[in-house]
Amino acid sequence: MGGAIFNTQLPFVTRVQSMLGSGSFYARWYPKQWTRARAGDLDQLHETLRPYVSYGASTSKRLARGLFHAMVRFGPSLDREQLLLSRFVGIATEIFAINATCSYAQHLINHGRPAEEILSVANYFCRSARSRIDQHFAGTSRNADARGYRLTQELLAGKHEELRTGIV
C-alpha cells in the first residue's frame, strides 16, 4: 500500500500521493483491528468447534496488528527481519490449520462419523495449535534475534575460534 513512499527513485509528488493514500487507508483499517472479530455464522458448526473458529478470527486481527506494528517499526527494512517474519508466518499457518481442522471435523460429523472421536482429535489439535501460536507471538516481542545476529557476525569475522574447534 505504501511501498512508493520509500522508493527514492519515484518523483516526490508520487511519494506524497502514496503517503496520503496509505494514510487514509490505514486510518480506517487500523481501528477495525481492535474491534471484536466476528467469525461469521457459526450456527452450522458443532458447539465444541465454535470457540476455535472464533479464536482464529480474533487472532487474525491480532496478527494484522502485529504485522502493522512491525511495518511501522522497521519500515522498508522489514524484509530483512526474517526471524520475525517467520514467526508471523507460523501464526498464520496455525490459524489456517485450526480453521481447516474445524471445517474437516464438521464435514466428517455431518457425514455420520462419530462426533466424540472426531471432536477428541480436533480438540487436541486446536489446543496444541493455540499453544504454538502463543509461543510465536511471545517470540515477536521477546527474543534473542539481535544478539544472535551479532554473534553470527562475530563468528563470520573469525572470533570464538576456540569454541568452534572440534564441533564438526
- Residue whose C-alpha cell is 568452534: 164
Quick check: 44 and 102 in contact, CB under 8 A?
no
What is the second-level CATH architecture of the domain 38-143? Up-down Bundle (1.20)
CA 107 and chain centroid, separation: 27
- If one compares 123 and 39, the residue with the highest pLDDT of the two is 123
| For residues 73-99, average pLDDT | 94
* Angle subtended at Cα 37 by Cα 79 and Cα 101, rounded to the nearest 5 degrees: 80
DSSP secondary structure letter of residue 36: P
| For residues 11-26, average pLDDT | 84
Reduced to 3 states, what is the DSSP secondary structure of residue 55? helix
Quote the mean pLDDT of the chain. Answer: 90
Q: What is the pLDDT of residue 20?
A: 86
- If one compares 125 and 7, the residue with the highest pLDDT of the two is 125
pLDDT tens string 131-158: 999 999 999 989 999 899 899 899 889 8
Pick from 54, 136, 68, 59: nearest CA to 95: 59
Cα separation, 158 vs 167, whole angstroms? 15
Cα separation, 95 vs 58, whole angstroms? 10
